[in-house]
Amino acid sequence: MVDSPEQTLSSPWPDILELTLDGIAQGGEAVGRWQNRVVFAAGGIPGERVVVRLRERHESYARGDVIDVLLASADRVAPRLPGASHMPWQHIAFEAQQRLRRQILVDQLAKFAGIDPGVVDATTPASKPWEYRNNARLHCDGRRVGYYEADTRSIYELDHDPLLHPTLNEALAALHCALADEPDNAPPLEVTLRVSEAHGYCIAALRGRGDRRSLAVRWRARCPALAGVVFTVSPPHLMPPLGADTLVEELEDLTFLLRPTTFFQVNVAAATTLLNLIRAGLGEEAHGRLLDLYCGAGAFTLPLARNAVEVVGVEEYAGAVADAERSAAVNHISNVRFITGRAEAVLTDLSGEFDAVVLDPPRRGCHPRVVQALIGRAPRRIVYVSCHPATLARDLKSLINGGYTVVRATPVDLFPQTPHVESVVVLVRAGSE
């Protein structure tokens, strides 16, 4: 069980081993080495001496779980919900999580894009370490409700999630009660739950087979804060919503009209943090003509429009575009235009020049055609909002090769108690400063 130097690379992986952790991986696992082979240890913290039980073995690396801590880090804290895989960093002190987020971003940008760690700021912390999430996607199997365990379809059952806004926990508890009257053979169900932080009510979307209206009626009767439930059923047929079908949220004194399944930032404070970083990154170009790619429901598009000549938002999901257009109308914002389509396709035919571009792609990052089109259009500034350091680094390398320089990268803690690393990166075209 000891990682002694006498052992050789030809030794087979044991079931259990002892090692010192000295790094952190992008996925949030601590990293150690055994016989010069990498071990990813879930539940560990850099600097600790631990015992790990392996669950995945390869020639040059293995993955496992910490089952005993022989020498604990000063950053180790007691988890609030042991075993909950949706918050794998709950054993790490909040301040230490910020340092580790920056380290992950530094490592990925240096390794894959050759970016100097000196341009990476300290992590901007979340405003609250708990009760911050304004949305949740739950799964029901008969009378059980919770999240899927990591990398499985097994439900981790819970009636309270310390990451959720209190109103959502009220709705979760009421859903438990409503499910108690479901038949044993009730089909599986996906539940999307959203709260309006501005107005204190929530709405839900139910997705699954069969008529679930009776469940929704029982649920609403037990939860006064649940203003409405919408249905997506299979086979498809028209089922009107029960109560409200639109969430009204406020961001920077703007009103956003959102259907329950439309993406929005995890909380209003997070959206405000990102907006402030985007504005700072745009500099004087914020007053020009802007392109907002992967714009969703316009969370960045509409606030930026107040100081810009024009903002064009591009989003492939028609429902999000419809919500963005409704929100623009209710706020009387006329200098925005939304285009439904894939960014790589829209950029081919989009006319006119843009002073700056805002990117907020999904985890897979930008399509290569998007990066090449931006290099060809040569906006003076690009502000890249990323939720995945590795795909960010890949895209930045291409943009750097195309004539851009990274002048600042700021990691942001949007999801405390998880290893998720959001970041805002500012790129400037050579010769534009």
Q: Are residues 419 and 310 in the same domain?
A: yes
Looking from the CA of 429 toward its CB, the CA atoms found within 13 Å total: 17
Residue 408: pLDDT above 80?
yes
Q: Are residues 155 and 303 in the same domain?
A: no
Q: Are residues 204 and 154 in the same domain?
A: yes
pLDDT in tens, 326-340: 999 999 999 999 999
pLDDT band at 237 (very low <50, low <70, confident <90, very high): low
pLDDT band at 6 (very low <50, low <70, confident <90, very high): very low
Instruction: Residue 211: give the domain boundaries.
Output: 135-249
Domain assignment present for residue 298? The answer is yes
Q: Are residues 25 and 159 in the same domain?
A: no
Question: What is the number of domains present in the chain?
Answer: 3
pLDDT band at 372 (very low <50, low <70, confident <90, very high): very high
Q: Are residues 395 and 271 in the same domain?
A: yes
Which residues fall within 8 angstroms of residue 301, CB to CB, at 6 or more apart?
292, 295, 311, 313, 324, 336, 338
Q: Are residues 288 and 391 in the same domain?
A: yes
Q: Are residues 319 and 364 in the same domain?
A: yes
Which residues fall within 8 angstroms of residue 200, CB to CB, at 6 or more apart?
167, 225
Q: Mind telling me the catalytic residues?
A: 387
Residue keyed to tokens 């919408």: 230
Q: Are residues 38 and 154 in the same domain?
A: no
Question: What mean pLDDT comes out for the span 156-169?
Answer: 96
Question: What mean pLDDT comes out for the span 181-205?
Answer: 94
What is the pLDDT, as a whole number, of residue 1?
53
Domain assignment present for residue 84? The answer is no
- The Cα-based distances of 146 to 158, 232, 249, 422 in angstroms read 5, 19, 26, 25
pLDDT in tens, 75-107: 999 999 998 999 999 999 999 999 999 999 999
Q: Are residues 332 and 425 in the same domain?
A: yes
pLDDT in tens, 374-385: 999 999 999 999
Domain assignment present for residue 261? The answer is no
Question: What mean pLDDT comes out for the span 224-236?
Answer: 85
Q: Are residues 123 and 140 in the same domain?
A: no
Note the pTM of the prediction, 2 decimals.
0.94
Which CATH number is 388's domain given? 3.40.50.150
Which CATH number is 34's domain given? 2.40.50.140
